[in-house]
Amino acid sequence: MSAATDADQALADLFALRGAVPMETPILQPAEPYLDTAGEALRRRIFLTTGEGGENLCLRPDFTIPVCLDHIVSGADLPRRYSYRGLVFRRPRDIDGPNEIEQAGIEDLGETNLAMADARALADALASLETAGLPLERLSVVLGDQGLFEAFLRALGLPDGWQRRLIRTFGEDRLLDEALTALSGGRGAAIDTVPAPLVELARAREEGALTRAIRDLMEEGGLPPHSGRAPLEVAQRLIEKVAIAEARLPDSSLSLLKRFLSIDCALSDAPEIVRALAAEAGLELGRALTFFEARNLALRAADVPLDALRYRAAFGRPLDYYTGLVFEALLKDGGEPLVGGGRYDRLLRLLGAAQPIPAVGFTLWLGRMREATSARTESSDAGEAA
């Protein structure tokens, strides 16, 4: 049996030991769940096609959404852990990149002890890498927490529209920097082309009067129909757009947000650092920070050394469905992530589940893992020959 086959079997054995039920999902998937929930970073890489009935389909670009859809259809009892392994299909970022990527992972659905489930997901991800000869001492592991980021935005008192815009940029450093620059100058959205009377009604949040004015303009042909949107929807969007355009975060609050986003420390030190910043500013982070601390305790109980992991407050992963913990691990000398994962508590409800279902999971890039293991073996062989 080859070393690669040994590693594959060891990974399968680990998944079974962790109580994950293997799941097979079709390569051809409905496209709408990805278009609606996955985020722009993944949407632009999807291979789209059309079914015989005119339905939008795509080649499977990830496993999380198909696993969740299959669970909803099956109606299986919760909590439940699923494992998967197979190819995903994405347009490459680089011209010579692969279209097919082999992945494996675990999705943990319905566990109500969220801190324990988060810790288990990260511990199992690291154990999976270790089965391939990639122990923690060779890795750089970084964590973020979208829930804590959202709590900080709420505590600053940002308008809802700005909160949503910043949340959408979480994990995309360039977009986040652009949003912060716009927020500091009060230039959040272009409203120069909107008729002044409508801007005044939106500024005053006169939703009823604004809806009637928009309806009148639509009927007169003086305002585009906005792709079939109803006047009320146009009015609501315009109220939000004006609020974003005219919001300007005070310099002191903007400085606090930038200080929060600049936090980059050992995970063991993170709760104290975040709590000190919040106390200094008089901000109440409530359950988000309490949960952060509870998850650290759960990670310690799972024998994950917190000093070996980094917390970066600005770290996120470019998928819109994440809601809390996000993490990645790569080799210390750089390269692409070997594993990535996080919590996505809203996704199953968006996909059609009757009730909210807490969920967390991780994905392994098997090809990258093999390359990393092979490079280490070749380096060791060269050293012995010398």
CATH 3.30.930.10 in the chain, residues? 3-152+264-385
**Residue 235 CB coordination number (10 Å):** 24
Say whether 317 counts as a known binding-site residue: yes
Dihedral pair phi/psi, residue 71, rounded to 5° = -65, -45
Which pLDDT does position 222 carry in this prediction?
A: 54
Q: Is 103 annotated as a binding residue?
A: yes
Q: Which residue is listed with tokens 């305790």? A: 297
Average pLDDT value for residue range 37-46: 81
Flag whether pLDDT at 157 surpasses 90: no
List pLDDT tens digits, range 337-382: 999 999 999 999 999 999 999 999 999 999 999 999 986 655 554 4
The residue-averaged pLDDT of 72-80 equals: 96
Which pLDDT does position 247 carry in this prediction? 63
Say if residue 62 carries a ligand binding annotation. Answer: yes
Of the listed ranges 3-17, 95-109, 326-340, the least confidently predicted one is: 3-17
Give the dihedral of Cα atoms 126, 131, 136, 137; nearest 10 deg.
Answer: -170
At 180-189, the pLDDT tens digits run 777 776 554 5
Q: Name the CATH superfamily housing domain 3-152+264-385.
A: Bira Bifunctional Protein; Domain 2 (3.30.930.10)
For 289-309, how does the pLDDT look when each residue is reduced to its tens digit (9 = 90+)?
A: 999 999 999 999 999 999 999
Q: Which residues of 86-108 are buried (b: 16+ CB within 10 A; e: fewer)?
A: bebbbeeeeeeeeeebbbbbbbb
Query: Encoding tokens for residue 202?
Result: 């939106």
CB atoms within 10 A of CB 116: 18
120 annotated to a ligand binding site: no
DSSP 303: T
pTM (2 d.p.): 0.82
The phi and psi torsions of 92 (rounded to 5 degrees) equal -70, 145
- What is the maximal distance between C-alpha atoms in the chain? 84
In this predicted structure, the answer to whether residue 283 has a pLDDT above a threshold of 60 is yes
- To the question of whether residue 90 is assigned a binding role by annotation, the answer is yes
64 among annotated binding-site residues? yes
Does the pLDDT at position 286 exceed 80? yes
Q: Which residues pair with 59 in a beta bridge?
A: 28
What interhelical angle do 146-156 and 160-169 show, nearest 10? 150
> Dihedral, CA atoms, 173, 179, 181, 186, nearest 10 degrees?
-170
Give 36 or 22, the one with higher predicted confidence.
22
When pLDDT is cut at 50, 70 and 90, the band that residue 225 belongs to is very low
130 is in an annotated binding site: no
